Structure 1
Amino acid sequence: MLATVPATASQGLNVSRPAVLDDGSDAKKYITQKGTLTRDGGVNIAYELLQSEPASTTQIALQVDAAGVTTTEAASSSATNRFLMIMGFAATGEAWLPTVKELFSRGGKSAGLEVAVFDNRGIGASSSPADKRAYTTDVMAGDALAVMDALGWARAHVVGHSMGAMIGCRLALTAPERLASLTLVSATGGGSEAIPTNCTAIAAGVRGAMKSDLPSRASVDLAFHFSKRLLRQDDPATGRTVKAELKSQYVELQKATGGQSRAGQDGHMNAVMSHSLSKQEYARLRSAGFPILVIHGAEDILAAPRHAARLARRLGAPLVMIGHSAHFTPRDAAKEVTDELLATLEAVRRGATHADAVHPCPDPAAYERSACAAALCCCFA
């Protein structure tokens, strides 16, 4: 069942709207700090800190002292309240806002939570280097770690979506002592696994190649990110379909921001296609000493569910498959993602240190087999 939210008072309608139509912009009220840090080569990374309640004096002092990249015991003690969220291909950090809004709406469970989001290099307010070799998941993991340093965070729960999940894996390998947990959303192992091969995705790609106008590109983007079932649903507040509503949002956003540069597109593609983990690296992650969780949409045509299942098996981690979700899980399943993030937070607070601590996973391969069957059915949906 698709979650719904009440229509706003300004609409004057006593109806419930599909939750996915909420872009989470109300969460901007939680932004307490904005900053830009500079990496090697003069690359600027723009980030934001959102807090569910005003920062304490100690937290403010840590932020001021972060220029010296000094982490203290005070910072470490709050690690289980902190989330670093890493967004995926061609999306800014604000794409996390629906999840942040849901996370901060959980009453006492949200008390004291801090969330950092940032624009990956190649998108938004961050720099877009011209050389695509400046974009690898290893380099971009360094960007993420630099955001933690700028905030004075010794440790945090790391959450990555799509390409951001790949970056999260690299961050976990580079600095495992900085992670309280690792959550991978809409993820694959990168490289050839990032190429959608089902007929629905191929058809959408062909349609996109034939037309370059903004509305057509919006339709293709929506087809890759949301399920057909969701896009066909009617919005009772406007009488239009969810697809029409989301398409309007997409077009307006692209006009306002100018969209992603060609250098950024090529760079992000290079990061995704060059990403891979060795057997030894998977083994290091399995034994790194923090919970790992893979969350995926059963209707994802961009990142095949079978690849997420394989990733979970290699990591010895559970796979949470969300039936109604497609690729843009942080938006179309913000409630379910939040449930899992809070469950992980509580597990870590209780002292969990192993990959399947949140949901025991006795037979990860079973997920892969069932996901493969689902993938074979997608062409006939």
Structure 2
Amino acid sequence: MPFCNVTSYQNGDGDESNINETNIFYRTYGHGSVKVLLIIGLAGTHDSWGPQIKGLAGTVIPNDDESTAGDRSNESDEGDGVEVCAFDNRGMGRSSVPIKKSEYTTRIMAKDAIALMDHLHWKKAHVFGHSMGAMIACKLAAMVPDRVLSLALLNVTGGGYECIPKLDRQTLSIAIRFLMAKSPEQRAAVDLDTHYSKEYLEEYVGDETRRSILYQLYVQGISSTGMQSKHGFDGQINACWTHKMSRTEIESIRASGFPISVIHGRYDVIAQLCHAKRLAGKFYPSARMVELHGGHLVSHERTEEVNAALLELIKASKSKMSLHDWTNLHKKSRVCKATRMSFFKTSSLSFMVDAVEKLHLFLLYFFGLFVLAFEHARRAVRSLKPVRVGSALT
């Protein structure tokens, strides 16, 4: 199985016997001079990129590991084909699961991705990320902008309080079911409502709805990889909540001049569309906003449109298209965003941001107490034994 000991690359000592080593499981697909690094989101594994791997590399069969990464990196002999690498983030799948929550930040996970690029001897790559993976991709692009050819951010937010979904009955129900899910079957059921639009799930494919078909596939997938560990889940949540792109990092990405696509589903119940649009505006004129009819996993729900957008991004990078020709955003909107950012620097609004974060923590605490009380009540009811009094059963 292909693993990358990212610790040895990050330490720069080549010592793969480090007792605190972190191993990242990865797969490569296809061959070619065009390199694409795919970074998946929270609780996802590398094979969640299946539709994009097929669309970009032309196959979902991973490359055999009989040759070294160095042999595969000889770009001059590989033509114009595409080689794709997808991997399991730390805390999920077959990759290492650090115990400390502090070992999960988007910066640390971006370092994992950079180490993997070093392992594969990839000098440059197109970097595509989904959800948390898009946050990681942003950090990577800010840290090593000279190694990024293009950047695709699918269903992304700016992290922190922007990770809070729109509070309504639907998302509250999903949150409760997600926290209560203890089996692959329960997790699969809630994942469907999290990932796809209701309209898509209710469509019929033959005699069955997409929901029933996808449910079986999700149960099989979760059963094969296993439920995410508590350490992994808490750590990845921490990475999302602590993620933040500074103005310096944003400007570093913009100054690098590579094209960016921000791709989002209109009916995403996890990552709100308005946050993605705001982030795209900060990258003007590098960014193009691609809004599709889909949910959080728009890469599956609208595969053809997403793949077309990704291929167009690669093409724009190769042709060195002018960013002003690439973008579909307006400079005026960016000025408004910049003004808003400056305004947020005032002490009064900084106080408001702090208040919002404290309110979020309070809501999480209150919600946690609610779930805990519900669980205790459920267990208490189950533990009650029927007592026969006369002819009555109580």
Name the TM-score, length of structure 1 as normaliser.
Answer: 0.75
How far off is 1:364 after superposition?
7.5
| Partners of 2:142 and 2:250 within 8 A in 1 | no
Equivalent position of 1:240 in the other structure: 208
Q: Which residue of the other structure, out of 136, 154, 158, is the alignment partner of 1:167?
A: 136
Per the alignment, do residues 226 and 178 of structure 1 end up closer, same or farther by CA in structure 2, a change over 3 Å counting?
Answer: same
Q: Residues 227-306 of structure 1 correspond to what in structure 2 (within 5 A)? A: 227-236=197-206, 239-306=207-274
User: Does structure 1 residue 346 correspond to structure 2 residue 299?
Assistant: no
How far off is 1:330 after superposition?
1.8
Q: Which residue of the other structure, out of 17, 29, 46, is the alignment partner of 2:25?
A: 46
How far off is 1:231 after superposition?
0.8
| More deviation, 247-256/97-106 | 97-106
Q: State the Cα deviation string for residues 337-379 of structure 1 (Å, max 9, x = none).
A: 111111111111112374x65334225749x99xxxxxxxxxx
The CA distance in 2 between the partners of 1:209 and 1:159, in whole Å, is 29
How far off is 1:336 after superposition?
1.1
Larger Rg: 2
Q: State the Cα deviation string for residues 86-138 of structure 1 (Å, max 9, x = none).
A: 000000111111111123459xxx95111111111011111000111111000
Q: Which runs of 5+ in 1 are unaligned?
A: 1-33, 56-77, 370-381
**2:272 is matched by which residue type in structure 1?**
A
The CA distance in 2 between the partners of 1:328 and 1:212, in whole Å, is 22
Per the alignment, do residues 187 and 343 of structure 1 end up closer, same or farther by CA in structure 2, a change over 3 Å counting?
Answer: same
Q: Which residue of the other structure, out of 196, 210, 218, is the alignment partner of 2:165?
A: 196
Per the alignment, do residues 112 and 209 of structure 1 end up closer, same or farther by CA in structure 2, a change over 3 Å counting?
Answer: closer
**1:153 is matched by which residue type in structure 2?**
W
- SS for the counterpart of 2:330 is coil
| Partners of 2:51 and 2:300 within 8 A in 1 | yes
Equivalent position of 1:215 in the other structure: 185
| Partners of 1:158 and 1:168 within 8 A in 2 | yes
| Partners of 1:145 and 1:171 within 8 A in 2 | yes
Q: Which residue of the other structure, out of 262, 270, 279, is the alignment partner of 1:311?
A: 279
How far off is 1:215 after superposition?
2.4
What is the aligned length? 302
The CA distance in 2 between the partners of 1:48 and 1:132, in whole Å, is 26
How far off is 1:203 after superposition?
2.4
| Partners of 1:290 and 1:352 within 8 A in 2 | no
User: Does structure 1 residue 137 correspond to structure 2 residue 116?
Assistant: no
Equivalent position of 2:87 in the other structure: 118
The CA distance in 2 between the partners of 1:275 and 1:158, in whole Å, is 18
- SS for the counterpart of 1:318 is strand
| Partners of 2:25 and 2:94 within 8 A in 1 | yes
The CA distance in 2 between the partners of 1:288 and 1:295, in whole Å, is 20
| Partners of 2:145 and 2:252 within 8 A in 1 | no
| More deviation, 273-282/86-95 | 273-282
The CA distance in 2 between the partners of 1:357 and 1:111, in whole Å, is 24
The CA distance in 2 between the partners of 1:50 and 1:203, in whole Å, is 38
Equivalent position of 2:55 in the other structure: 102
Equivalent position of 1:206 in the other structure: 176
The CA distance in 2 between the partners of 1:141 and 1:243, in whole Å, is 34
Equivalent position of 1:361 in the other structure: 329
The CA distance in 1 between the partners of 2:322 and 2:202, in whole Å, is 43
| More deviation, 254-263/135-144 | 254-263
Q: Which residue of the other structure, out of 121, 142, 155, is the alignment partner of 1:186?
A: 155
Equivalent position of 1:376 in the other structure: none
| More deviation, 325-334/214-223 | 214-223
How far off is 1:211 after superposition?
5.5
How far off is 1:279 after superposition?
2.1
| Partners of 1:310 and 1:365 within 8 A in 2 | no
The CA distance in 1 between the partners of 2:105 and 2:123, in whole Å, is 24
Per the alignment, do residues 358 and 191 of structure 1 end up closer, same or farther by CA in structure 2, a change over 3 Å counting?
Answer: same
User: Does structure 1 residue 92 correspond to structure 2 residue 62?
Assistant: no
**2:244 is matched by which residue type in structure 1?**
S
- SS for the counterpart of 1:287 is helix
The CA distance in 1 between the partners of 2:225 and 2:92, in whole Å, is 10
Name the TM-score, length of structure 2 as normaliser.
Answer: 0.72
| Partners of 2:57 and 2:84 within 8 A in 1 | no
Percent identity, please: 38
The CA distance in 1 between the partners of 2:195 and 2:297, in whole Å, is 5
| Partners of 1:159 and 1:165 within 8 A in 2 | yes
The CA distance in 1 between the partners of 2:35 and 2:209, in whole Å, is 37
Structure scoring higher RCO (CA < 8 A, sep ≥ 6) equals: 1
